[in-house]
Amino acid sequence: MSMKLRDNEFNLFIFQLIVCNYFGHLLSNGVTEGCNNLITTIRRMSFGIPNFENLKLRVLTYQT
């Protein structure tokens, strides 16, 4: 068996484990990824804010 085929087989096995674990526990990191995306978007929109406290308040305002 070639090395590339063995690597692909291993990757599919790991992917199968991850998918089975999700359906077994029904947990995901979607909320965390959404918060990270929101913070990144706010940072892009507020480019030039010199004060970190103002940026922090803006992030907290958008999250609630």
- DSSP for 10-63 reads HHHHHHHHHHHHHHHH---SHHHHHHHHHHHHHHHHTTT---HHHHHHHHHHHH
Of 34, 6, 49, 21, the closest CA to residue 57 belongs to 49
pLDDT at 64: 63
* pLDDT tens for the chain, residues 1 to 64: 688 888 889 999 999 998 888 898 888 888 899 989 988 888 888 777 778 888 888 888 887 6
Between helix 52-63 and helix 30-45 the angle, nearest 10°, is 130
- Domain range for 54: 3-63
Our count of domains for the chain comes to: 1
H/E run at residue 5: helix 3-25
